[in-house]
């Protein structure tokens, strides 16, 4: 974690220096002059983007990977593509290819019942006690 943070800070400093060099030394040779306030806004925006990407990347690297489809059998998810019979589902924040014997619309909850290769088998999730008989 510390190495990544130090590397991120060093790389952002070099990027900011590169922006300054380009804006103050290279662009004026082509008669392109950037006002100081615009240059400051560009540098602040670049710093904000770099910070956001570092935080998002760091969170992604710290997540526990799901290496085996068996680990998510019985987990609930949501269909992000209609399944008729194949589509995509999102389970624990990860997208998986899935198949279902029934048509499942986008946004419907599903539950994983099995897998074949790296494709999951899912069914529509029915909340227990919700059925009217």
Q: Are residues 84 and 99 in the same domain?
A: yes
Q: Are residues 76 and 120 in the same domain?
A: yes
Of 62, 81, 106, the last residue of a domain is: 62
pLDDT tens, 100-123? 999 999 999 999 999 988 889 999
The overall pTM is greater than 0.95: no
Cα angle, residue 92 at apex, residues 87 and 95 outer, rounded to 5°: 30
Q: Are residues 56 and 74 in the same domain?
A: no
pLDDT tens, 10-45? 999 999 999 999 999 999 999 999 999 999 999 999
Q: Provide the domain limits for residue 117.
A: 69-124
């Amino acid at each position: 974690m510390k190495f990544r943070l130090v590397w991120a800070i060093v790389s952002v400093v070099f990027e900011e220096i590169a922006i300054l060099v380009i804006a103050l030394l290279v662009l004026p040779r082509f008669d392109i002059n950037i006002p100081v306030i615009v240059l400051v806004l560009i540098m602040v925006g670049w710093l904000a983007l770099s910070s956001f990407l570092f935080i998002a990347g760091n969170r992604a690297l710290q997540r526990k990977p799901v290496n085996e489809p068996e680990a998510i059998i019985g987990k609930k998810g949501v269909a992000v593509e209609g399944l008729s019979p194949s589509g995509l589902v999102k389970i624990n924040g990860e997208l998986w290819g899935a198949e279902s014997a029934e048509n499942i619309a986008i946004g419907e909850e599903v539950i994983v019942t099995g897998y074949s290769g790296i494709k999951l088998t899912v069914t529509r999730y029915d909340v227990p006690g919700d059925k009217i008989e």
